[in-house]
Chain A
Amino acid sequence: MKILVCISKTPDTTAKIAFTDNNTKFDANGVQWIINPYDEWYSLVRAIELKETDPSTVIHLVTVAAADADPIIRKALALGGDEAIRVNADSHDSFYIASQIAEVAKQGGYDLVFTGKETIDYNGSSIGGMVAELLDLPYISLATKFEISANKATVTREIEGGEEVAEANLPLVVSCQKGMAEQRIPNMKGIMGARTKPLKVQEPVAVDPLTAVAGFELPPAKAGVKLVDAENVDELVRLLHEEAKAI
């Protein structure tokens, strides 16, 4: 089985969010970059587990990013994966990125494409669905469990207020979320090995983006907390009822 795992570079979850150039660009000053947690903890680790069960499994990583994403890809390779492909492009349009991933997927002939459920920066939740459509493949979104037997995948996914189990034959695109796997820390052997794993850089195919970022805004600051005495819970409920009109 050949798995393509989509990797995205995002600011650390604790990063301070600020913008420059008249609020049109993300201020990367002092920001730590990480592998998008959904890509790392769930889709990549689940792919690694599948390889541990069946060592003939091949895992390729793909990212659509400029060269500054290379340390992130090396970290992903340190966790696991046989080789990585970086499509050398910098874009925030989901369709552009999905089109590049779909092109890589077509060239590689994968049985399975894993994405995270969303990136923690643009929160689009779009790449998996778009890649599936571009490849004309079935798509199971927001998976919490993934099992494979012969050519058939059994996937548990979230539904409102519960979950359902769906089956589909490979090839398949799946977006992964919490429940799929547990976060891992790369070990020394993995880190050393990652240095020599292939990281192929290829140029993007020509695609017209469908959207553009016109600008950013920060949410208005909170007015400040109104503290109520612990002995006077009735007063809090009165405020919520009469002032905030929330109860």
Chain B
Amino acid sequence: MSVLIFIDTTDGHVKKATLEALSYGSKIAAQMGTVAEGVVLGNVQDDLASLGKYGVTKIHQVTADALSQPDAQVYCKVLAEVATAIGATVIVFSNNLNGKAIAPRLSARLKAGLVSGAVALPDTSNGFVVKKNVFSGKAFANISVTTAVKIISLNPNAYQVIAGEGTATVAAFATSVSAGAIKVTSSSKASGDVPLTEAEVVVSAGRGMKGPENWGMVEDLAKVLHAATACSRPVADAHWRPHHEHVGQTGIAIAPNLYIAIGISGAIQHLAGVNRSKVIVVINKDPEAPFFKAADYGIVGDAFDIVPKFTAAVKKIKGIA
């Protein structure tokens, strides 16, 4: 019996969402009186042993030529081997892109009940019940997992990273898995940008910006806040901004610490994607904009006037010249 946490990496580095998953999984292990272990696929530049400070005692590292392609089918087989070998009863993923690709496969392979998009620790007082987001952030469901092995994929920004003391032992895990059917031929990343789903602060703008040429001030504000930029659906549909910036019910759902909405009226579909944000700030010239009802702080006024002042005020408070 143990808790196994999938350590997700990008370009050889451990993702922030993984630190949350490690902290979360370790807490579950403590709750169940067992140990937490990690599993990582491929070579990593970061010091794996130091991940022990998030509560894992051991990390199983699998390196094999078959893992060189990001193929959920192959990853799933290897994770099933590791989980079975160590007798994992709870397996934790981050509910990010890799988690969404692999966790459902593993659930079907191991016949292990999956809760995807968990937002809280499991309640083990009567069975095993995990709270998750449903109806695109408009409600929660408590899901009872009835199988011996349970899989949880944790929503990004839903559980705090808890760093303590400790070092994990790193052990190689041998696999005989063969290569998969998927071959990645090219990839492109916007360099330097903060990934939207992992961002702690998101600056988002809508039709109120009047046109793509006015986004400079939005990006300036995002820059001083180390924030990711996002947009509403009409903006993405009009190709003012790329589709991957569209947050809302049919775009990306996010839950940052701070969400700043500029010139977005706050249609229910947009709110569904952002209402898990801890603090919401709305800047809109229409005092009747529905977004104000869902906001914590607001300014009624002209974005073109307010946003540059906002940037200047943040610079002042952060001591940026």
Chain A interface (Cβ within 8 Å of chain B)?
11, 13-14, 17, 19, 37-38, 41, 94-95, 98, 120-130, 132-134, 136-142, 144, 154, 158-169, 178-179, 209-219, 222-223, 225-230, 233-234, 236-241, 244, 246-247
Contact = CB atoms under 8 A, between A and B. Distances in A.
A140 B134 CA distance: 24
Interface residues of B, number: 102
Contacts of A239: 297
B176 interface: no
Nearest to A212: B144
Contacts of B258: 240, 244, 246-247
A168 B182 contact: yes
9 contacts: A132-B73, A161-B189, A217-B131, A218-B138, A218-B139, A218-B140, A219-B275, A223-B296, A225-B292
A164 B188 contact: yes
Contacts of B251: 178
A139 B69 CA distance: 13
Contact of A179 (B144, B147, B243): B243
A38 B145 CA distance: 27
A230 B301 contact: yes
A14 to B, nearest CB: 5
B143 A214 contact: yes
Contacts of B320: none
B249 A237 contact: no
Interface in B216-253: 225, 236, 243-244, 246, 249-251, 253
B114 A225 contact: no
Contact of A163 (B102, B180, B187, B246): B187
The 5 closest A-B pairs by CB, nearest first: A230-B301, A129-B104, A210-B113, A162-B189, A164-B187
Nearest to A137: B73
Given A129-B103, A141-B101, A178 B250 contact: yes
Contacts of B316: 234, 237
Given A95-B113, A138-B71, A126 B107 contact: yes
Contacts of A13: 136, 249-250, 268-269, 272
Contacts of A213: 141-144
Contact of B187 (A162, A168, A237): A162
B317 A238 contact: yes
A227 B299 contact: yes
Contacts of B207: none
A158 B190 contact: no
B184 A166 contact: yes
Interface stretch (B53-61, B84-92, B157-165, B303-311): B303-311
Contacts of A223: 296
B254 interface: no
A84 B292 CA distance: 44
A241 B187 CA distance: 38
